[in-house]
Chains A and B, each alone.
Chain A
C-alpha cells in the first residue's frame, strides 16, 4: 500500500513540477518529461501488473491534466513501459549510463508515438516543427535528470518498503 502511495505521490509531484517548474527552465520552451522518467523506472524496477497500470495512469494523468485527446500519452507511456520492461528482462540496464541512454530513447520513442497517433487520429499541422525544435532537447534533459531522479526514487522507495515490512 505504501509503495502504491509512494508512486502516487511521486507522480503527483512530477506532474506538478512538470506543469509549474519546468516551463520556467531556460530551455527555449522545451519541457523535460519527468513522468516519463518515473515510467522508465517502473519498467525497470516494478515488474508487476501494478507497474503496467502505473505507466498507463501516468500517461492518462498527463492527458487528463493537459486537456488534450485522452489516451495519447496513456498509449505512449504503456508502450514505453513494455519496451523498457522487455529490454530489462534481456539486457542488464542497471548502471547509470544504461539508464541515461534508456531514458533518452524512451523520450524519443514516446514523442514519436504521440506524433504518430496525432497523425493517424487527428492532424499533423505544426506538429513536425514543434517536434523538430523540442524532441532532442527534451530527451537530453530528461536523460540528464534521470540519474538523480532514479536515485531519489530508489531511496524513497526503500524507506517506504521498509515501513511496509514493519
Chain B
C-alpha cells in the first residue's frame, strides 16, 4: 500500500491538487468574498521586480519613441525644406509669369493703339560691350521685320532695327551714340534731334536757343523722320544747358523705357501710325 503511494505519489499529488483547484474554483465562483491569503504577499513580493521591469521598459520605450520621433522629425524637416524650396520656386515662377503677363498685356494694349504692321518680339540678347548700345530680338525677316523698323515698348521708344536675319534682328537703342530721332518737347512743341549718350541716357540736340525747354518736360517722337510714329514717348528732360555764344541749347533726356530691364518689345513698320487719342491726351 505504502509502495503504491510512493510509486504514484506524483499522480496522486497532482490528482489531489486538481481536486483542490476545482474546489477553489467552485468556492471562488460561488462567492467573490473568498479571501486569497497569498494575493497580498505575491503583490508585495513581486512589486520591486515589477516596478524595476516596468520602469526599465518605460525608459527604453521612451528612448525608442524619442529616437523614432527624432528620426521622424528629421525626415519631416527635410521633406518640409524640400517642399519650401519647391514652393519658393513655384512662387518665383508665378511672380515671373504675372509680371510677364502684365508686360505682355501692356504691350498688347500698346499694339492696339498703333495702326499698321506691328510685330511683338522678345529680347534674346544684349550688346556684349559698353561702347555700343544694342540688343537682339527673336524675330526677323521671316516675321516681316526689316532694317529701319522702329522698336517700341509701352513705355516709349526703344530704338530701331539696324540689321536683320531670317529669325533675329539687331536693335540699335536710343542711347547708342549712332542713334538719332526727330523729337519734340510735348509742352512747348520745341523740336530737336534726340541722340544717344550711352550710360548718360540721351541728349536732345539742335534745340533753338529761344525755345522753351525746362527740366521735367516730356519729349516724344515727332513722326517726321519716317521711322517712328508720332507721339511716342522718348523720355524726360533732366537738365538743360545753354551755350552763351551759340544759337542752340541742349537738353539731357532720361529715357522713359528701362532699357536695361527690357524683355518684350514691339517692332513697328515705318508705315505705322498711332491713333490720335480722342480726348487729346498723349
Interface residues of A (CB under 8 A from B): 12-13, 15-17, 19-21, 24, 47-49, 51-53, 55-56, 59-61, 64-65, 67, 69-72, 74-75, 78-79, 81-82, 85, 117, 121-122
Given A56-B17, A56-B21, A79-B18, A48-B29 contact (CB < 8 Å) = no
The 0/1 profile, CB within 8 Å of A marked 1, for residues 8-34 of chain B is 011101110110111111111100001
Prevailing SS type, chain A contact patch: helix
- B18–A75 touching, CB < 8 Å: yes
Prevailing SS type, chain B contact patch: helix
- Contacting chain A: which of B43-51, B80-88, B177-185? B43-51
- A82–B39 touching, CB < 8 Å: no
- B46–A12 touching, CB < 8 Å: yes
Interface residues of B (CB under 8 A from A): 9-11, 13-15, 17-18, 20-29, 34, 36, 38-39, 42-43, 45-46, 49-50, 53-54, 57, 61
Chain B residue numbers with a CB within 8 Å of A16 are 46, 49-50, 53
Chain B residue numbers with a CB within 8 Å of A61 are 38, 42
- B38–A78 touching, CB < 8 Å: no
Q: Smallest CB–CB gap between A124 and chain B, Å?
A: 13
- A67–B39 touching, CB < 8 Å: yes
Closest A-B pairs by Cβ, 6 of them: A71-B24, A75-B21, A71-B25, A121-B29, A70-B28, A74-B21
Q: Smallest CB–CB gap between B161 and chain A, Å?
A: 77
Q: Smallest CB–CB gap between A52 and chain B, Å?
A: 4
Chain B residue numbers with a CB within 8 Å of A79 are 18
A78 to B11, CA, bound (A): 10
Residue in A20, A53, A122 whose beta carbon sits within 8 Å of that of B57 in the complex: A20
- A74–B42 touching, CB < 8 Å: no
A16 to B18, CA, bound (A): 25
Chain A residue numbers with a CB within 8 Å of B17 are 52-53, 55-56, 74, 78
A151 to B42, CA, bound (A): 27
A25 to B11, CA, bound (A): 37
User: Which of B26, B27, B45, B46 counts the most chain A CB atoms within 10 A?
Assistant: B46
Residue in A49, A60, A75 whose beta carbon sits within 8 Å of that of B10 in the complex: A49
Q: Smallest CB–CB gap between B46 and chain A, Å?
A: 6
- A65–B10 touching, CB < 8 Å: no
18 contacts between A and B (CB under 8 A): A12-B45, A21-B53, A48-B10, A49-B10, A52-B14, A52-B17, A53-B13, A55-B14, A56-B21, A70-B36, A71-B21, A71-B24, A71-B25, A71-B28, A74-B24, A75-B24, A81-B14, A117-B25
Chain A residue numbers with a CB within 8 Å of B36 are 64, 70
Residue in B11, B34, B46, B61 whose beta carbon sits within 8 Å of that of A70 in the complex: B34
Residue in A17, A48, A49, A72 whose beta carbon sits within 8 Å of that of B25 in the complex: A72
- B10–A69 touching, CB < 8 Å: no
A1 to B75, CA, bound (A): 56
- B10–A64 touching, CB < 8 Å: no
User: Which of A24, A64, A70, A85 counts the most chain B CB atoms within 10 A?
Assistant: A70
Closest to A71 in B: B24
Q: Smallest CB–CB gap between A47 and chain B, Å?
A: 6
A35 to B16, CA, bound (A): 21
- A17–B46 touching, CB < 8 Å: no
Residue in A55, A82, A121 whose beta carbon sits within 8 Å of that of B11 in the complex: A82
- A78–B21 touching, CB < 8 Å: yes
Closest to A19 in B: B50
Given A12-B49, A16-B53, A52-B28 contact (CB < 8 Å) = no
Chain A residue numbers with a CB within 8 Å of B49 are 12-13, 16
Chain A residue numbers with a CB within 8 Å of B11 are 82, 85
Given A49-B9, A71-B23, A85-B10, A20-B54 contact (CB < 8 Å) = yes
Closest to A72 in B: B25
A13 to B39, CA, bound (A): 17
Q: Smallest CB–CB gap between B40 and chain A, Å?
A: 9
- A121–B25 touching, CB < 8 Å: yes
Closest to B48 in A: A16
